[in-house]
Structure formats: structure tokens, C-alpha cells
Amino acid sequence: MKPPPFEYVVPDTLEEALEILAERRSEAKPLAGGQSLVPTMNFRLSEPGLLVDLRRIENLAGIRGTEDGGLEIGAMTLQADAERSPLVAERTPLLAEALPWVAHAQIRNRGTVGGSLAHADPAAELPAVALALGARVETCRAGGRSRWIDAETLWPGMFATAIEPEELLTRIRFPPAAPGSGFAFRELARRSGDFALVGVAAVVRLDEDGRCGMARITLLSVADRPLVANEGAKVLIGRIPTPAVIVEAARAVAARDVDPPSDIHASAAYRRHLCQTLTRRALTAAFDRGGDRPGHAGPRWRAGGW
Ligand SMILES: Cc1cc2nc3c(=O)[nH]c(=O)nc-3n(C[C@H](O)[C@H](O)[C@H](O)COP(=O)(O)OP(=O)(O)OC[C@H]3O[C@@H](n4cnc5c(N)ncnc54)[C@H](O)[C@@H]3O)c2cc1C
């Protein structure tokens, strides 16, 4: 199918784009990589009267470290550029680990980091990662007004965001990783490049005594938005993350945190099973990578291999 007729503009500056969005707010839509928007237009699931192409706007793309040791990514940064960035690998290794799971290389060559967050697909990897890492996004509107939105409140529902129609997402900020923290991303898709049946992001921190001081587990493809698994995390806090404790946490996620849907891709029961298995794997890897200081309990108690 082809999209319905639409107008198309390519503004040169951010202010120009924001003014167009303010004037035509009910019918205009920003166009980033077009990898989600164009297919939805072709299927007539979205019928914007005007596309505002963001590709010429300077400074909307780019990756830079922040002074506090965190990372900032411009909304129009290509997913492929983030995937290959040494700075992303160093400062937000969870994001680096998740990016190759996003679609296919060809799509990541066009798709943007900001476009993925703004599209708000509950099966997308990057929102779950942003949520796990406590990221914030900046939005701007005409007149130089901007605000920051926490990932926690960015996605109120299926394909919905807290971004107003006259606003643009301009950059994403990831806080620095706490010392002793470990991370991991795991997902299962039927074929390489397909959307995940379930995905899990885990961020943990080991204290000096080898106990879990912080745990954050997020899941994708199990709800109408990325989900934070608080019950699973509670099982871990203050405990030495032995294999048995990790299994207990993974069971809590599957039993109490999620209520996954059945669809043509997988039954709810299978998704629940995946939630447990992938959470166990993600937590095991995250704890292995955490607490990289003398006295760290992780690798020692797993020396026999598990
Ligand atoms: C075959 C296929 C497989 C895919 N598989 C996956 C997958 O496994 N995992 C995954 O996460 N994604 C997948 N995708 C989606 C892909 O990652 C998209 O690139 C991404 O979701 C959207 O990024 P984009 O830059 O292409 O945004 P666009 O398609 O241009 O825009 C998406 C939406 O966000 C809005 N938007 C874009 N930028 C901004 C901004 N700066 N401010 C405000 N609103 C904005 C647009 O108006 C639109 O509503 C797949 C896509 C295809 C075609």
C-alpha cells in the first residue's frame, strides 16, 4: 500500500521546525529515520497531513560524554552510530549490548535513537534500556521552551508518550553508572532482526560485602509499555546473589511482575516462561559483571562455572 497524500517540509533549524509544529500541531508529524512512521503511513495506521523532516537540523545528532560521567545522545543519532560508538560502549554498556538486537543493520542505518523512544513501541529495545538506566529526555517547543521528562513517565501507554504534538524530543541523557554496577540485556526473537517475544534489561550493583545494593529489571514485549519489575528486584536487595537467589528473583518477575498478552507470535504462558528464563540469564550476567573491586563476591562463588 502507499500512503495517503501529505505535505513535506525539511526545515534547516530547530526553531523553524518547532514553529511549523506549533502552527500545524494537529496534522504535522516529525519524521526522523522513517523506519516506523513510513510503514504505518503505508498501512494507513497514521495519516499525517504534513511531515516535518528533521534530518537537516544541525546539532540534533551526536554523542557526547557529560561531565558527571554520564552520556548524552542527540535524538537524530542513528542507531547504527550509537551501536559503533566507543563512548556508548564505555559509559552505557547496556545500551551498546541492546542495540544490535534492534531490527536489522539496514534499519539501524536509518532509524534513530530518538525516533525509537518517540515511537513508543512496547516491543522496542531502547525504551526498556532507557527505563533500566534511569534516562531522561529533553523536549523543546517554539519560543525556546524546553523540559526534561524521566523515562519513568515518558510512556503512558501503547505507542503513546508524554511528548506534546508541538514538542520535539531533542536529546537523551543517561546518568553515570554507579561504581560496582553490572548490566545485561537478553531477548528472544523468532528470527534474527524480528521484534522480541520478550526482552529483559538488568542493572545491578554489588556492595563491598558482595550483597546486592541495587537492582533494576525492565522488560519489553510483555505489556502496553516497557515494564519495571519491582517484585523481582525486591527479592535481590540486601542478599548475596547466589544462583538460588537469582532463580527466586526470576520466578518473582514471572509470577508477580508481569501479566503478558497472548498474540499470534506467542502465548501468554510461553511469554511468562521466557520472562523467568531471560531474567535469570540477564541477572546472572549482570552480577558477573558487577562489583569489579577487591573483595567482589561475584566471580568467586561462581568459579565452578554456572
Ligand atoms: C522491519 C522492521 C523491523 C523492526 N524491528 C525493530 C526491533 O526489533 N526493535 C525496535 O526497537 N525497533 C524495530 N523497528 C523500528 C526501528 O527501530 C525504527 O527505526 C524506530 O522505531 C523509529 O525510529 P525512526 O528514526 O525510524 O523514527 P520514525 O519512523 O521517523 O518516527 C517514529 C515516530 O516517532 C516520532 N518522532 C521521531 N523523531 C521524533 C522526535 N525527535 N521528536 C518527537 N517525535 C519524533 C515520529 O513522528 C513518529 O511518530 C523495526 C522497523 C522495521 C521496518
Q: Are residues 157 and 186 in the same domain?
A: no
C-alpha to C-alpha distances, 95 to 6, 145, 188, nearest whole angstrom = 35, 29, 17
- Ligand 1 centroid–CA 239 distance in Å is 39
Atom of ligand 1 nearest to the CA of 37: 29
Q: What local confidence, expressed as pLDDT, does residue 1 receive?
A: 76
Q: What's the pTM? A: 0.95
Domain end position, chosen among 108, 143, 174: 174
Q: Are 160 and 186 within one domain?
A: no
Ligand 1 atom, smallest distance to 31 CA: 30
Distance 108 CA to ligand 1 centre (A): 10
Q: DSSP label at 279?
A: H
185's grid cell = 540485556
Q: What is the dihedral of CA 34, 175, 227, 145, to 10 degrees?
A: -60
- Specify whether 192 is located in the same domain as 277: yes
CB 141 within 8 A of CB 112: no
Name the stretches of the chain with pLDDT < 50: 293-306
Q: Kindly give the distance from the C-alpha atom of residue 33 to the centroid of ligand 1, in angstroms, as a whole number.
A: 7
Write down which residue in 135, 151, 174 finishes a domain. 174
The grid cell for 222 is 510483555
Q: Is residue 298 part of a domain?
A: no
From 119, 139, 172, 221, give the residue whose CB has the most ligand 1 atoms within 8 Å, as the site to mutate: 119
Nearest Cα residue to 34 out of 95, 78, 82: 78
- Do 164 and 190 lie in one domain? The reply is no
In this structure, which residue's CA is closest to atom 50 in ligand 1?
103
Question: Which CATH number do you get for residue 138?
Answer: 3.30.465.10
Choosing from 36, 76, 155 the residue with most ligand 1 atoms within 8 A of its CB, the one to mutate for a pocket test is 36
Q: Which of these three, 117, 142, 174, is where a domain ends?
A: 174
Residue 30 grid cell: 516529525
Which ligand 1 atom lies nearest to the CA of residue 101? 8
Binding-site residues, ligand 1, Cβ < 6 A: 29-37, 39, 54, 75, 102-103, 107, 111-112, 114-116, 118-119, 121, 124-126, 163, 168-169, 195
The Cα–Cα gap between 49 and 81 comes to: 31
- Beta carbons within 10 angstroms of residue 75's beta carbon: 27
Backbone phi, then psi, for 11, in 5-degree steps?
Answer: -65, 155
Place of cell 498474540: 263
118 Cα: distance to centroid of ligand 1 (angstroms):
7
Residue 117: which of 180, 171, 65, 60 has the closest Cα?
171
Closest residue by CA, ligand 1 atom 15 = 36
Number of domains in the chain: 2
Strand order in the sheet with 181-188: 181-188, 198-206, 212-220, 227-228
State in Å: Cα 144 to ligand 1 middle.
26
Supply the DSSP symbol for 254.
Answer: I
Q: Which atom of ligand 1 is nearest to the CA of 36?
A: 29
Whether the CA torsion 100, 101, 106, 110 is positive or negative: it is negative
pLDDT of residue 166: 97
* 161 and 203 housed in the same domain: no
- 304 lies in some domain: no
Residue 134 and residue 107 in one domain: yes
CB contact set of 39 (below 8 Å; sequence gap of 6+): none
Q: Mark whether 78 and 147 lie in a shared domain.
A: yes
| Same structural domain, 186 and 289 | yes
Q: Is residue 30 part of a domain?
A: no
> Residue 286: helix, strand or coil by DSSP?
helix
Q: How many angstroms is it from 113 CA to the middle of ligand 1? A: 8
Q: What amino acid occupies position 73?
A: I
pLDDT score of 302 = 38
- Helix or strand or coil: residue 200? strand
Closest ligand 1 atom to the C-alpha of 29? 47
Domain encompassing residue 199: 181-293
CA–CA dist 281, 246 (Å, integer): 9
- DSSP conformation class of 222: S
- H or E stretch covering 243: helix 243-252
